[in-house]
Structure 1
Amino acid sequence: MIKPINKDVGILRKKSTTASKKDLQTASDLIDTLKAHQNACVGMAANMIGINKRIIACFFGPFPVLMINPEITKKFGPYTAEEGCLSLEGKRVAKRFKHIEVTYLDKNFAKQRQKLDDFNAQIVQHEIDHCNGILI
């Protein structure tokens, strides 16, 4: 189900809690909401739809990828990026890494590890920041 975008900075600044299989409906809602906003958005975290769980969804090309309880395990190649966010007005500067490795659970709760570079790495870093209560 498509959910409204949360713009309450107080909620967005709260650190998200670990997601479980009970949160699969939230994951589904997050994907639906991301798809509904794909013309203006390449990634979302669950707190952007008002649910304080560690779930993100990102477009890597035309396909959305769901990550449950994502954690960056490696990062290198720091740079400064300018980013926008559906939950916030305007653009802001953020420190990002050109290359990352992330571990997460997929929709079947199978553990995954993925190496990401460039823009895909930037998207995941932005959304994991959301899970950690960090805003750009």
Structure 2
Amino acid sequence: MIKPIITDTHQLQQPSRLASRADLPLATDLKDTLTAHRDACVGMAANMIGVHKRVIIAQLGPLPVVMFNPTLTSKAQPYPVKEGCLSLTGQRPTTRYKRITVDFFNEHWQRQQLTLTDFAAEIVQHELDHCQGILI
């Protein structure tokens, strides 16, 4: 179901709690909402649709990837960048890493690991910040 996007910074700055198997239906809401905003958005975190659980979605190629309890396990090559956010207006400077590795559970609650580079890595880092309550 398409959910409204949260823009209240106080709500967005609350750290998210760990997700469980009971949260698997969030994948559908995140996919539907990301699809509805595909012209302006390539990723989102569950707190952006009002659910404070560690769940993110990132458009990594033709299909979106949903990650439950994602954890950044390595990062390399920092660089400065300006990013926008569907929940905020304008762009803001931040530091991202060119290469990252992230561990997570997929939509079947199977443990996964991805190594990402460049823009895909940037998307996931932005959404991981959302899980921590960090706004750019």
**TM-score normalised by the shorter chain: which range applies?**
over 0.9
Alpha-carbon distance in structure 1 between the residues aligned to 2:111 and 2:10: 31
User: What residue ranges of structure 1 are gaps of 5+ in the alignment?
Assistant: none
1:43-91 superposed Cα distances (whole Å, 9 cap, x missing partner): 0000000100000001012210000000000000000111000000100
Q: How many aligned residue pairs are there?
A: 136
Where does residue 23 of structure 2 map in the other structure? 23
| TM-superposed deviation, 1:27 | 2.1
Alpha-carbon distance in structure 2 between the residues aligned to 1:27 and 1:94: 28
1:17 match: secondary structure: coil
Q: Which stretch has the larger CA shift, 18-27 or 104-113?
A: 18-27
Where does residue 41 of structure 1 map in the other structure? 41
2:108 match: secondary structure: coil
Alpha-carbon distance in structure 2 between the residues aligned to 1:51 and 1:59: 20
Alpha-carbon distance in structure 2 between the residues aligned to 1:29 and 1:9: 21
Where does residue 87 of structure 1 map in the other structure? 87
Alpha-carbon distance in structure 1 between the residues aligned to 2:25 and 2:60: 22
2:134 match: secondary structure: coil
Alpha-carbon distance in structure 2 between the residues aligned to 1:30 and 1:10: 21
1:62 match: secondary structure: coil
TM (normalized to structure 1)?
A: 0.98
Contact preservation (8 Å) 1:102, 1:115: yes
Alpha-carbon distance in structure 1 between the residues aligned to 2:27 and 2:134: 20
Q: Counterpart of 2:25 in structure 1: which amino acid?
A: Q
Q: Which stretch has the larger CA shift, 6-15 or 26-35?
A: 26-35
| TM-superposed deviation, 1:25 | 1.8
Alpha-carbon distance in structure 1 between the residues aligned to 2:6 and 2:125: 19
Q: CA RMSD in A?
A: 0.6
* Percent identity of paired positions between Structure 1 and Structure 2: 54
